[in-house]
């Protein structure tokens, strides 16, 4: 059984238990699962590309976005805030990324306008 299935199974069995703790507080398994499903729909509506970029701070949004991509059978390509624009552009171009899951303060000018940002706020 894959990791995603184990987490979804836990969400069904213990929906109100804490799944993630971050600077903003706690996120239950139910909220994690529901948020992942909402993001999965956004991914499905935005792109058919098998690769999805991920530019998120350490927070509950990160596992939510990863699980959303997995629900849609997409490969997550993590993007690092510490890379220069040129390095990010290289990863995006060579990773075949046309969609980046991000939040407002973290977004990189739509990856030089070649990728569609999907906001996780």
Pair of tokens at residue 20: 């993630």
Strands 116-119 and 75-78: unpaired
pLDDT in tens, the chain (121 residues): 588 888 888 889 999 999 999 998 999 999 999 999 999 999 999 999 999 999 988 889 999 999 999 999 999 999 988 888 899 889 998 988 999 998 765 555 544 445 555 555 4
Whole-structure pTM value = 0.81
Helices (H), 1-121: 3-13, 29-46, 61-71, 85-94, 110-113
What domains are defined for the chain?
A: 3-119 (3.40.50.980)
14: helix, strand or coil:
coil
Pair of tokens at residue 95: 């990773």
Tell the residue number behind the tokens 């805030």, with chain if given.
81
């Amino acid at each position: 059984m894959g990791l995603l299935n184990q987490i979804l199974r836990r969400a069904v069995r213990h929906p109100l238990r804490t799944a993630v703790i971050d600077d903003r507080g706690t996120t239950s398994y139910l909220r994690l699962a529901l948020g992942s499903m909402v993001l999965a729909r956004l991914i499905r509506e935005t792109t058919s590309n098998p690769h999805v970029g991920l530019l998120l701070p350490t927070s509950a949004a990160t596992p939510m976005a990863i699980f959303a991509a997995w629900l849609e059978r997409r490969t997550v390509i993590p993007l690092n805030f510490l890379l220069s624009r040129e390095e990010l552009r290289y990863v995006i171009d060579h990773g075949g990324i046309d969609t980046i899951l991000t939040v407002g303060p973290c977004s990189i000018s739509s990856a030089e306008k070649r990728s569609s940002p999907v906001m996780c706020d």
